[in-house]
Amino acid sequence: MRILILHCSYQFKGGEDTVVDEEIKLLTSVGHEVELLLFSNTGNELFKVLQLPFNVGSYRKTVSAIKRFRPHVVHIHNLHFAASPSVIYAIRKCKVPFVNTLHNYRLLCPSGTLFHQDTLFLDSLKQDFPWSAVKKGVYKNSVLLTFWLAFSMKLHHWLGTWKLCNRYIVLTDYAQKILLESNLRLQKDQVTIKPNFCAAAKVSNAAFSDHFLYIGRLSVEKGIRLLLNTFSTLPHEIRIAGDGPLKNEVIEFSRRFSNIKFLGSLDKNEVYQQLQLSSALVFPSIWFEGMPLIIIEAFSSGTPVIASKLGAMGSMIIPNYNGLHFEAENDKELARKINEWIALSEEEKQTLRKNAIATYNEFYSLKTNAQQLMTI
């Protein structure tokens, strides 16, 4: 099968870009012919934003790629901003079916994350037009940019553009639920759940330690301050790896509290090494994650996860099977869950480790994901 993947890369490479790279490798490895049509938001940013309703250049580029490559199907990942919804009309002109993976909530809210000013922002889910989001300037703290983004998305809602997609792919049952309940009025069989994936970790024979681990972006929405405040009151060790705007706060806490260790940024091999050494991964995010790759990597490593019960984490983690849940933004409950984990016997922990690997094999392995993609 010939598959054309269409993606608009981010200014700073993130999770979506990684997913696209890995999907291309996966599809190619199982014998499909794959080509990437890549757009970029760097350079002439304002011009690209102004063309968000319909980018003529992107339309022509897409038509040209389809006529040359002649794909059996097109898989869209990110449209914003440089690609624009114009690529959908290019695909329809060429009479090729297409699927669209929704990695965020941009079709429902200009924020894209349902998060603003360090807290959840759900107003857009209840409004025909996201005026609250516009007034708050949820996109880059700009009322004007937020309005233009909201108007562009709503325009294509009025035109019926979003209904043209043969199949939307969402990452979790939560994302499917709010998409189907939205005013987009999509059909139930138009939205399919397919999670992210990763290559299996090479599980070593290294002994698990009693310390906990956090790996990810060091930012407010990831619950870093909750993590730091909680472990500053506990005797248990937490190792923190990553980079981001709260890096200096993490370093300051690591200086003040001997049980908080800052590891800096890690490469992929170091990530897996740390996962297999830790007792459990702590994931304290306070916003609706798409589908955190680090949780999938933890499962593949046989590392259980203690996570906030919010969005994707609510379905990925099964309490007392492959990890534990705590109420988001509740430091006292997180502390209780950490102590609850410590109190488990080694036999009980070992059972959860085996279950973590079983979860990976069932839902997030390369083989499973390839089968799911081809079914869609």
Separation of alpha carbons 63 and 312, rounded Å: 35
Q: State both tokens at 4.
A: 């054309």
Separation of alpha carbons 108 and 124, rounded Å: 7
What is the model's pTM?
0.89
Q: Given a cut of 80, is residue 159 above it in pLDDT? A: yes
Separation of alpha carbons 230 and 358, rounded Å: 30
Q: 212-364: which CATH architecture?
A: 3-Layer(aba) Sandwich (3.40)
Give CATH superfamily name and number for 2-198+367-375: Glycogen Phosphorylase B; (3.40.50.2000)
What's the CA dihedral at 283, 288, 289, 295 to 10 degrees? 30
Same fold: 2-198+367-375 with 212-364: yes
For the stretch 266-284, pLDDT in tens is 998 999 999 999 999 999 9
Sign of the CA dihedral running 321, 113, 76, 20: negative
Would you state the pLDDT for residue 9? 86
- Rounded to the nearest 5°, which phi and psi values hold at 12? -115, 125
Indicate the helix (H) or strand (E) that contains 306.
strand 305-308
Average pLDDT for residues 164-187, to the nearest whole number?
A: 93
Hey, where are the domains in the chain?
A: 2-198+367-375, 212-364
For the stretch 323-344, pLDDT in tens is 999 999 999 999 999 999 999 9
For residues 356 and 362, is the Cβ–Cβ distance under 8 A? no
Query: What average pLDDT does the structure give for the chain?
Result: 93
Q: Given a cut of 80, is residue 177 above it in pLDDT? A: yes
For residues 170 and 193, is the Cβ–Cβ distance under 8 A? yes
For residues 11 and 42, is the Cβ–Cβ distance under 8 A? yes
